Structure 1
Amino acid sequence: MTIQTVILAAGMGSRLGRSLPKPLTQLGDGRSIMQQQHDNIRAAFGRDARITAVVGYRAETIVEAFPSADYVYNDRYDQTNTSKSLLRALSATGKAGVLWMNGDVVFDPRVLGRAIALIEQQQSFVTVNTSKVSDEEVKYTVDAGGHIDALSKTVVGGIGEAVGINYISAADKRAFVRHLHRVDDQDYFERGLELAIAEDGLKLRPLDISDLYAVEVDFAEDLERANLFV
Structure 2
Amino acid sequence: MRLKTVILAAGMGSRLGRSLPKPLTELSDGRSIMRQQHDNIRAAFGDEAQITTVVGYRAEAIVDAFPDADYVYNERYDQTNTSKSLLRALNATGRSGVLWMNGDVVFDPRVLGRAIELIEREQSFVAVNTSKVSDEEVKYTVTPEGHIKELSKTVRGGIGEAVGINYIARQDKRAFMHHLFRVGDQDYFERGLELAIQHDGLLLEPLDISDLYAVEVDFAEDLERANQFV
Q: Shorter-chain TM-score: what band?
A: over 0.9
User: Aligned letter for 2:121?
Assistant: Q
1:1-230 equivalence runs, <5 A: 1-230=1-230
Following the alignment from structure 2 to structure 1, what is the Cα–Cα distance between the partners of residues 151 and 220? 26
Following the alignment from structure 2 to structure 1, what is the Cα–Cα distance between the partners of residues 67 and 136? 35
Structure 1 vs Structure 2 CA RMSD: 0.2
Following the alignment from structure 1 to structure 2, what is the Cα–Cα distance between the partners of residues 225 and 180? 32
Following the alignment from structure 2 to structure 1, what is the Cα–Cα distance between the partners of residues 157 and 74? 34
Following the alignment from structure 2 to structure 1, what is the Cα–Cα distance between the partners of residues 180 and 118? 23
Displacement of 1:228: 0.2
SS in 1 for 2:117: helix
Following the alignment from structure 1 to structure 2, what is the Cα–Cα distance between the partners of residues 224 and 156? 29
Displacement of 1:105: 0.1
User: Aligned letter for 1:112?
Assistant: L
Displacement of 1:47: 0.3
Structure 2: where are the runs of 5+ without partners?
A: none
Following the alignment from structure 2 to structure 1, what is the Cα–Cα distance between the partners of residues 39 and 156? 36
User: Aligned letter for 2:138?
Assistant: V
SS in 1 for 2:223: helix
User: Aligned letter for 2:32?
Assistant: S
User: Aligned letter for 2:41?
Assistant: I
SS in 2 for 1:164: strand
SS in 2 for 1:60: helix
1:133-159 per-residue CA deviation (whole Å, 9 max, x = no partner) reads 000000000001000010000000000
SS in 2 for 1:171: helix
1:155-204 per-residue CA deviation (whole Å, 9 max, x = no partner) reads 00000000000000000000000000000000000000000000000000
Count of matched residue positions in the alignment of Structure 1 and Structure 2: 230
1:91-142 per-residue CA deviation (whole Å, 9 max, x = no partner) reads 0000000000000000000000000000001000000000000000000000
Displacement of 1:39: 0.1
Following the alignment from structure 2 to structure 1, what is the Cα–Cα distance between the partners of residues 67 and 188? 28
Following the alignment from structure 1 to structure 2, what is the Cα–Cα distance between the partners of residues 204 and 33? 27
Following the alignment from structure 2 to structure 1, what is the Cα–Cα distance between the partners of residues 144 and 120? 24
Following the alignment from structure 2 to structure 1, what is the Cα–Cα distance between the partners of residues 192 and 184? 10
SS in 1 for 2:39: helix
SS in 2 for 1:94: coil
Report percent identity of matched pairs.
83
Following the alignment from structure 2 to structure 1, what is the Cα–Cα distance between the partners of residues 83 and 200? 18
Displacement of 1:22: 0.1
